[in-house]
Structure 1
Amino acid sequence: MFMWLKHYMPRSLYGRAALILVLPVVAVQLVVSFLFIRNHLEDVTTQMTFNAVSAIEVAMQRVAEAESEAQAQALAAPTLSVFGMSLEFPGPGAVPAQDLIGWDDFSGSVVRRVIRLYRPETLAVLLLDNKEIEVFLPSKFGPAEISFNRRRVTVTAPHQLIVTMVFFGLLMTVIAFLYLRNQLRPITRLARAAQAFGRGRVVPYTPAGATEVRAAGGAFLDMRARIERQIEQRTQMLSGVSHDLRTPLTRMKLGLAMIDEDEAEPLLRDVDEMQRLLDAFLDFSRGVAEGEPEEVDPGALVEQAVEDARRGGRAVTLAAMQGEGTVMLRPLSMRRAVENLLGNAVRYGTQARVSVILTDKSLRIRVEDDGPGIPADRREEAVKPFTRLDPARNQNLGGGVGLGLAIVNDVARAHGGVLRLSQSEDLGGLCADIVIAR
Structure 2
Amino acid sequence: MSFKWLKPYMPRGIYARAALIIILPVLLLQVAVSFQLFRRHFEGVTQQMSTAAAREVQLVIDLLNDPTPTADSLDRVLSNLDITVSKPDSLSHTDTRLWYDFSGLIIGRVLRKEIPTMTALHLRDDRIVTLHLQLDTAPVTVTFDRRRVSPANVHQPFVTMIFFGFVLTVIAYAYMRNQLRPIKRLAKAAEAFGRGRSVPYSPGGAVEVRAAGNAFLDMRNRIERYFEQRTLMLSGVSHDLRTPLTRMKLSLSMLEDDERVELEQDVEEMQRMIDAFLDYARTDFETEHADVDAASFVREVVDGCSRAGQNVTLHKIEGDGSFSISAGTVRRAVENLIGNAVRYGTYAEVSLRITEKSVRIRVEDDGPGIAKADREQAVKPFARLDSARNQNQGPGVGLGLSIAADVARAHGGVLRLRDSERLGGLRADLVFGR
Report the TM-score when normalising by structure 2: 0.95
The aligned runs of 1:23-422 (5 Å cut-off) are: 23-67=24-68, 71=69, 74-90=72-88, 93-129=89-125, 131-290=127-286, 292-422=288-418
Match of 2:422 among 420, 423, 426: 426
Contact 1:63 1:73 in 2 (8 A): no
Equivalent residue of 2:387, what SS?
helix
CA shift, 1:302, in A, is 1.0
Equivalent residue of 1:14, what SS?
helix
For 1:251 and 1:372, the matched residues in 2 are separated by 39
CA RMSD of aligned residues (A): 1.7
Contact 2:197 2:287 in 1 (8 A): no
Contact 1:65 1:72 in 2 (8 A): no
- Greater shift, 384-393 or 108-117, is seen at 384-393
CA shift, 1:400, in A, is 1.1
For 1:309 and 1:321, the matched residues in 2 are separated by 18
Equivalent residue of 2:118, what SS?
coil
Equivalent residue of 1:390, what SS?
coil
For 2:121 and 2:74, the matched residues in 1 are separated by 20
CA shift, 1:200, in A, is 0.6
Percent identity of equivalent pairs: 54
For 1:121 and 1:106, the matched residues in 2 are separated by 23
Equivalent residue of 2:100, what SS?
coil
CA shift, 1:418, in A, is 1.6
For 1:397 and 1:245, the matched residues in 2 are separated by 26
For 1:306 and 1:263, the matched residues in 2 are separated by 37
Q: What amino acid maps onto 2:411 in structure 1?
A: H
Contact 2:189 2:201 in 1 (8 A): yes
C-alpha offsets along residues 67-114 of structure 1, whole Å, 9 cap, x if unaligned? 4xxx57644333333332111222xx4212312223332111111111
Q: Alpha carbons of 1:73 and 1:124: their partners in 2 closer, same or farther (altered >3 Å)? A: farther
Contact 1:371 1:428 in 2 (8 A): yes
C-alpha offsets along residues 39-72 of structure 1, whole Å, 9 cap, x if unaligned? 11111111111001001111111112134xxx57
Unaligned runs of 5+ in 2: none
Q: What amino acid maps onto 1:66 in structure 2?
A: P
For 2:161 and 2:293, the matched residues in 1 are separated by 56
- Greater shift, 283-292 or 321-330, is seen at 283-292
Q: Alpha carbons of 1:196 and 1:130: their partners in 2 closer, same or farther (altered >3 Å)? A: closer
For 1:172 and 1:33, the matched residues in 2 are separated by 17
For 1:206 and 1:113, the matched residues in 2 are separated by 67
Contact 2:364 2:428 in 1 (8 A): yes
C-alpha offsets along residues 169-208 of structure 1, whole Å, 9 cap, x if unaligned? 1111111111111111111110110000000111000111
The number of equivalent residue pairs is: 433
Q: What amino acid maps onto 1:80 in structure 2?
A: L
CA shift, 1:422, in A, is 1.3
Q: Alpha carbons of 1:73 and 1:412: their partners in 2 closer, same or farther (altered >3 Å)? A: farther
Q: What amino acid maps onto 1:86 in structure 2?
A: T
Contact 2:227 2:284 in 1 (8 A): no
For 1:350 and 1:82, the matched residues in 2 are separated by 112
Q: What amino acid maps onto 1:45 in structure 2?
A: T
For 1:97 and 1:61, the matched residues in 2 are separated by 21
CA shift, 1:290, in A, is 3.6
For 1:389 and 1:242, the matched residues in 2 are separated by 26
For 1:252 and 1:161, the matched residues in 2 are separated by 95
Equivalent residue of 1:392, what SS?
coil
Contact 1:63 1:75 in 2 (8 A): no
Equivalent residue of 2:96, what SS?
coil
Contact 1:370 1:429 in 2 (8 A): yes
User: Which 4+ residue blocks in structure 1 deviate beyond 4 angstroms?
Assistant: 71-74
C-alpha offsets along residues 220-242 of structure 1, whole Å, 9 cap, x if unaligned? 00000000011111111111111
Equivalent residue of 2:225, what SS?
helix
Q: What amino acid maps onto 2:57 in structure 1?
A: I
Contact 2:405 2:415 in 1 (8 A): yes
Contact 2:417 2:429 in 1 (8 A): yes
C-alpha offsets along residues 267-287 of structure 1, whole Å, 9 cap, x if unaligned? 222112212212212222222
CA shift, 1:304, in A, is 0.8
Contact 1:80 1:86 in 2 (8 A): yes
For 1:238 and 1:205, the matched residues in 2 are separated by 30
